[in-house]
A and B are shown apart, each in its own frame.
Chain A
Amino acid sequence: MAEIEGKVKEIISKQLGIDVGQIKLESSFIEDLGADSLDNVELVMAFEEAFGIQIPDEAAEKITKVQDAVDYIKGKLG
Chain B
Amino acid sequence: MWSIVKSEWLKMRRCQILLVGIVAVALCPVVQYGTQLVIRPDLRDPNYDMAHLFANVIWGNTQIFIPISLVMIGGWLIDREAANDTMKNLLTVPVSLSRLLGAKLIVTAILAVLFGLYSVGVTVLTGVIAGLPGLSVGTVLGCGLQLVWAVLTTYLVCMPMILIFGQIRGAYLGGAILTFFLGYSMLFFKSGVLLSAYPFSAALILAGFDMEEYNGATAQPSLLLAAAGMIFVILITVLILKMSRPGKQKKPASKKKTGRRK
Q: A and B: partners?
A: no
